[in-house]
Amino acid sequence: MKICFFGGYDPLYPRNAVLREGLRRNGAEVVECRAPGREKFWLRYPRLFLRGLAAARRADVVFVPEFRQKDVPLARLISAWTGRLLVHDPLASRYETKILDWRRNPPSSVEAWWNLAIDRWAFGMPGLVLADTATHAEYFRSRFGLEPLRTAVVPVGYDDRLFSPLGAEKRERTGEFTVLFVGSFLPLHGVDSIVRAAAIVGRKDRSVVFRLVGDGQTRPAAAALAKDLSADNIRFDGWSRLEDLPGRIGRADVCLGIFGRTEKTARVVPHKIFQALGMGRPVVTARTPAAEEFFRHREHLFFCDPPGPVSLAEAVLELKADSGLRAAIGGNGLDLVRSRYATQPLGRRLLDVLERRFRPPKGGRR
């Protein structure tokens, strides 16, 4: 099978990088038709249209990766013109992300209407829409009226070329017990809960240090909260290059997932969780319907329940006190993600979906 990745996607973004490599490892041919995503559509569309026609003729499927809802109408035109099948992997709704989660504009605004309109086009046009969890797939179906057969679940997983347990055992011991968060400080990450948990832990054990890597929307508020709570066991480390993250994860004793209180938090399992597990590190994250699709408490990772800060603080202190539990969770989590959510098994999962739904009939293409 040949798959054309189409649109203004970022080739380094983990989601599509993992899927492209996974497809190749399973014998599929990947054709790329890409233009800079920051270009305005009237510049991007003409370039993509001509190149997309040629690329689609060499493929069985036109595949629009994450966050490229605006490229779906052009991809639909090309797929219809060439008789190829269209798949979209949105990863998230624009309306939910920008309006409900980030709260950039009120739901009554023109911007909200426009983002919802884009979503409706992007979810309504493809023959198949991917979701990263079953919970998210159900949201897409109910929100945009999709039939069940037009959705499929492919978890985000992780890139095992970059995130590997090799060398993680040789971590330098500094006397600190490091709790690591990596992210762009989105509301769904719940960094305020992490800061409050750090303050609780700091009053009980001064050797525990929380390192928060990244930047974004909620970072100023998190820094102000840390100051108000006198949580001097928190280090705001700023952005880190993707290739430097394995080293940071490998030096951590415990890694953190997400702890937000938004509706979206309950539907996603982000890259950071799979990446940390892929390096054999124990992970603590909020108990959500999405996370419970893949993992079991105290076996593959450690779930927190409300109230988040108190539960997170208790989890960190328990894991610090029990090295055997840390090792067991880290080892079990690694075994699980390596067998199901690494590059090769995820590529196989996607290819199975495509072959099952879209295999061309004998004697010609659909």
Helical segments of the chain, H only: 14-25, 41-57, 72-82, 94-95, 110-124, 134-144, 191-202, 219-228, 245-251, 271-278, 289-294, 308-321, 323-340, 343-358
Does one domain contain both 186 and 126?
no
Residue 119 has pLDDT above 50, yes or no: yes
Kindly state whether residue 267 falls inside one of the protein's structural domains: yes
Banded model confidence at residue 307, pLDDT cuts 50, 70, 90: confident
Does one domain contain both 149 and 194?
no
Does one domain contain both 307 and 353?
no
Kindly state whether residue 220 falls inside one of the protein's structural domains: yes
Residue 274 has pLDDT above 90, yes or no: yes
Does one domain contain both 49 and 140?
yes
Q: Which tokens sit at 160? A: 């095992």
Question: What domain range includes position 151?
Answer: 2-157+343-358
pLDDT given for residue 43 in this prediction: 84
Mean pLDDT computed over 278-299: 98
pLDDT given for residue 171 in this prediction: 55
Lowest mean pLDDT among 34-48, 63-77, 92-106, 186-200: 34-48
pLDDT given for residue 358 in this prediction: 64
Q: Tens digits of per-residue pLDDT, 317-335?
A: 999 999 999 999 999 999 9
Rg (CA), the chain: 21
Does one domain contain both 142 and 172?
no
| Amino acid (1-letter code) at residue 300 | H
Does one domain contain both 119 and 7?
yes
Q: Total structural domains in the chain?
A: 2
pLDDT given for residue 265 in this prediction: 94
pLDDT given for residue 47 in this prediction: 87
Residue 311 has pLDDT above 50, yes or no: yes
Does one domain contain both 307 and 275?
yes
CATH number at residue 85: 3.40.50.2000
Kindly state whether residue 331 falls inside one of the protein's structural domains: yes
Residue 168 has pLDDT above 70, yes or no: no
Kindly state whether residue 364 falls inside one of the protein's structural domains: no
pLDDT given for residue 366 in this prediction: 46
Residue 363 has pLDDT above 60, yes or no: no
Mean pLDDT computed over 60-69: 97
Banded model confidence at residue 165, pLDDT cuts 50, 70, 90: confident
Give the Cα separation of 138 and 129 in Å (integer): 11
Residue 244 has pLDDT above 70, yes or no: yes
Predicted TM-score (pTM) of this structure: 0.93
Banded model confidence at residue 365, pLDDT cuts 50, 70, 90: very low
Does one domain contain both 35 and 178?
no
Does one domain contain both 82 and 106?
yes
Does one domain contain both 262 and 353?
no
Please report the DSSP string for 29-49 in residue order: EEEEEE--TTS-HHHHHHHHH
Mean pLDDT computed over 341-365: 81
| Amino acid (1-letter code) at residue 22 | G
Q: What is the mean pLDDT of the chain?
A: 94
Kindly state whether residue 335 falls inside one of the protein's structural domains: yes
Mean pLDDT computed over 135-162: 96
Residue 304 has pLDDT above 80, yes or no: yes
Q: Tens digits of per-residue pLDDT, 343-353?
A: 999 999 999 99
pLDDT given for residue 361 in this prediction: 45
Kindly state whether residue 123 falls inside one of the protein's structural domains: yes
Does one domain contain both 114 and 220?
no
Kindly state whether residue 50 falls inside one of the protein's structural domains: yes
Q: Tens digits of per-residue pLDDT, 248-263?
A: 999 999 999 999 999 9
Residue 41 has pLDDT above 80, yes or no: no
Q: Tens digits of per-residue pLDDT, 180-219?
A: 999 999 999 999 999 999 999 999 999 999 999 999 999 9
Residue 167 has pLDDT above 80, yes or no: no
Lowest mean pLDDT among 207-211, 307-311, 336-340, 358-362: 358-362
Give the number of other CB atoms < 10 A from CB of residue 227.
12
Does one domain contain both 184 and 332?
yes
pLDDT given for residue 122 in this prediction: 97
Sheet containing 254-256: give its strands across: 234-238, 208-213, 177-182, 254-256, 283-286, 302-304
Determine contact, residues 190/261, Cβ cutoff 8 Å. Answer: yes
Kindly state whether residue 73 falls inside one of the protein's structural domains: yes
